[in-house]
Amino acid sequence: MGNDLPEAEPVEPPEPSEAPGPLEPLGAHEPLGADDRRARAEQARSETARLMTEGVRGVALTWVDVAGVQRVKAVPVRALARTAAWGVGMSPVFDTFLADDSATAGRHLGGPQGDLRLLPDLDRLTVLAGRPGWAWAPVDRYRQDGRPHPACQRLFARRATRDAAARGLSLRAGFETEWIVVRASDGAHPTDGPAYGMHRLTDLSDYLGDLLEALDAQRLDVLQLHPEYSPGQFEVSLAPEDPVGAADTAVLVRHTIRAVSQRHGLRASFAPAFRPGGVGNGGHLHLSLWRDGRNLGTGGAGRHGLTGEAEAFLAGVLAELPALLAIGAPHPASYLRLQPSRWAGAYRCWGLENREAALRLVTGSAGESPDAANAEIKCFDQAANPYLAAGAAIAAGLAGLDAKGTLPPEVAGDPAALPEERRPERLPVTLEEALSAFAGSEVLRRALGEVLHDTIRAVRAAEAERALGLSPEDIAAATRWRW
């Protein structure tokens, strides 16, 4: 398997008594028809001509599985029109893959039977500046009968966004990407400069400059790039966009970082815990709620300018955070990172510009654009599937709106330093605890649908079982290069 985890037992198909009936469609998604396929093929033919003039030979078609691993199939450019219309085949068993490439089975998915079609979203087709000769597109996954696959994470995020739109609301989202680089030749960190120090930028200025150039060539709007706390660690932040677009961008950014790193003789890790005891790689999710072109996180009568709708939305997210951890902190390695007093958001609380709170409110500077006001979910990490993370957070927020939720008193400073009687609730400290909260969340069960909810549950339970008896060092070593 190429890691230190024990070999998995072969996956058996579900018992006949557990065999599912027909898989439910995803809400308003209709089956793909002949007109849809013709339109997709025509768009692809136009894109094919452009790609060939730019020297592109192949297109990487990627999706992110429940374990947060990016999977791929590639097609030659000349096959793009047919691929856009009819997709390429892929087994649904990959929904039940674990981070170490072993597999489990849920009530609905798992085992060798079945097939899906991967259909590229050509609106996000991008020539890869860091990988000459290649282009990239994210995919939506459909069944052979043209209906949406009920476990497609990208379609789930789109559905959650549509649920908000049905209420007259829109969302802007963005993911922070943190990573650690080492030299591919010997595994040593290429810079020993201090945390956040100019030393690190100077030592790796050519590498970071090439990264910025590649991101810009791909028309990605970089807000900032800076050294982080751990040795060899960096972070890049992109401008907010719609939630599905933000998840797509998070995937593309990681592809680009890997490609540029390789060209510079470096290897990039996005693992939550590169080494136990260290500050790992977060995958913080920023969200803002909008109505009629107005950011509801500013200019309101509530605390720090929150409108009633924005407060209710954030109250819903805060209420579901223990369950959301099973999506946003999806592996036992995640809980090596999620420790108090490390700015990881280990406590279930919120606060203005409080980097120890799991939910950090950001208002922006006085007089700054209203775009700046947002909330940051700090307890998520880079092992999370960004489509699941965005969609589930939106679902939790909408549930808070339905409940007319209100936020509890905010927390200032480090919650771990507060007297025990004033300390907020600690978020789950193990994946098992998070999975228990997830299993009990009717909000997430309804939002995800039975098939996707059960598949997440099965994968998380298997990940937890695989890690039993392993030391933190074993877990970190086995997952260091999986994300």
The residue out of 105, 124, 150 marking a domain boundary is 150
Q: What is the pLDDT along the chain (483 residues), one digit of tens a residue?
A: 334 333 333 333 333 333 333 333 344 456 888 999 999 999 999 999 999 999 999 999 999 999 999 999 999 999 999 999 999 999 999 999 999 999 999 999 998 889 999 999 999 999 999 999 999 999 999 999 999 999 999 999 999 999 999 999 999 999 999 999 999 999 999 998 899 999 999 999 999 999 999 999 999 999 999 999 999 999 999 999 999 999 999 999 999 999 999 999 999 999 999 999 989 999 999 999 999 999 999 999 999 999 999 999 999 999 999 999 999 999 999 999 999 999 999 999 999 999 999 999 999 887 777 778 999 999 999 999 999 999 999 999 999 999 999 999 999 999 999 999 999 999 999 999 999 999 999 999 999 999 999 999 999 999 999 999 999 999 999 999 999
Task: Indicate if 434 and 311 belong to the same structural domain.
Answer: yes
Whether residues 171 and 77 share a domain: the answer is no
CB count within 10 Å of CB 57 equals: 14
What pTM does this model have? 0.93
Query: Rounded to whole angstroms, how far apart are CA atoms 347 and 276?
Result: 20
Say yes or no: 394 and 271 in one domain.
yes
User: In terms of domains, do 275 and 292 share one?
Assistant: yes
Q: Are 227 and 197 in contact (CB under 8 A)?
A: yes
Main-chain phi, psi angles of 263, to 5 degrees: -65, -25
Residue 358 lies in a domain: yes
Q: Which helix (H) or strand (E) holds 267?
A: strand 266-269
* Same domain? 286 vs 381: yes
Domain residues for the domain of 61 are 35-150
The candidate with the shortest Cα–Cα distance to 175, out of 271, 317, 285, is 285
| Contact indicator for 430, 335 with CB cutoff of 8 Å | yes
The verdict on 70 and 210 lying in the same domain is no
Helical (H) or strand (E) element with 447: helix 442-448
Same domain, 49 and 184: no
The tokens for 425 are 């609730």
- Given 150, 174, 196, which residue is the final one in a domain? 150
Based on the fold, state whether residues 308 and 432 are members of the same structural domain: yes
1 falls within a domain:
no
For residues 460 and 468, is the Cβ–Cβ distance under 8 A?
A: no
Give yes or no: residues 245 and 312 share one domain: yes
